[in-house]
Amino acid sequence: MLFNKATEPANAGERIAVSLKSLIDLAKPAANLTLHHKLFRAQQSGGYASRFKGRGMEFDEARLYQPGDDMRSIDWRVTARTGTPHTKVFREEREKPVFISVDNRSTMHFATRGVFKSVLAARLAGLLAWAAQHHGDRIGGQLFSEHECSELKPQNGKHAVLRFLNTLVKPVNKGVNRTTLEHVLARLTQHARPGSLVYIISDFRGFNDKAEIHLAKLSQHCDVVLIFIYDPLESHLPAKGRYRFTNDERDVVIDSSDAQRVFQYQQRFAERQQRLEQLAKKRRLAFIQCSTTEDPIQCLR
């Protein structure tokens, strides 16, 4: 791992591991952040807060069907009983579950500048959790590594934020099973309640067709925000030369004077980035990119 001294945090330890205190200190700046409820509401007609009428809404009454009503909102029981088409009418819930999924795999424990991707992900998650608490929303989440995936059910209040923050800083015990991004997203569709605002913070390594299917399924019932974390070196290799990288288990030497190898390296990153962007556009997801050198507050703004 390489670091540019000009961009190192004042506390060098905070660049590779996040502390509970630093996450708690995010409560004040998070008060000025706006979550992405309004973004999705603006994308949808009729002022509904979720993609389908009735998703994340509270049933109010049934009324006679009117031309232009969504067929998915028809109340079939009342229609069958009366013999006349009726539509369900919903009113928006005051509280919206906010579910934050955070990638803690080994690829996230890397940086050449700024902070580790894992540290940036934790800070983004902390800001979102505090912002949700300030807005009166329920906070839940998911933390996953290569060998473990755990979820926290959305709850109200400051204690829910602190419970989530403790999960972010607590080391994940390695299990025996191999956890893939496909498996993580499949679990997310089961744990994120319909109508939730779901943030997925990851470098999305290993994102494949099966993972995309689960993400598409999730987007049918929830408002989804993808936050793509990356290190500048992943998008562009430095000037010509030989560079050694290590993760304390093995070393890799990259020769950036090899044009073909550099092209293939950068092409893999570009393909992953473009795939996420295209998927977000197709499924009407929000897509945010954040580099390890960027301020997480500015990324969310």
pLDDT value, residue 167: 94
- Please report the pLDDT score of residue 88 as a whole number: 82
Handedness of CA 35, 280, 148, 269 (dihedral sign): negative
Sorted by where each starts, the structural domains of the chain and their CATH numbers stand as 5-38+94-300 (3.40.50.410), 57-92 (no CATH)
Q: Given pLDDT bands bounded at 50, 70 and 90, which one contains residue 269?
A: confident
Confidence at 131, pLDDT banded by 50, 70, 90: very high
pLDDT score at 66: 76
What's the number of CA atoms in the CB half-sphere (13 Å) around residue 128? 31
DSSP class of 72: G
Taking a C-beta distance cutoff of 8 angstroms, is the pair 199, 259 a contact? no
Which residue in this structure is represented by tokens 């902070």? 115
Q: Copy the structure tokens of residue 59.
A: 């049933």
Is pTM beyond 0.85? Reply is no
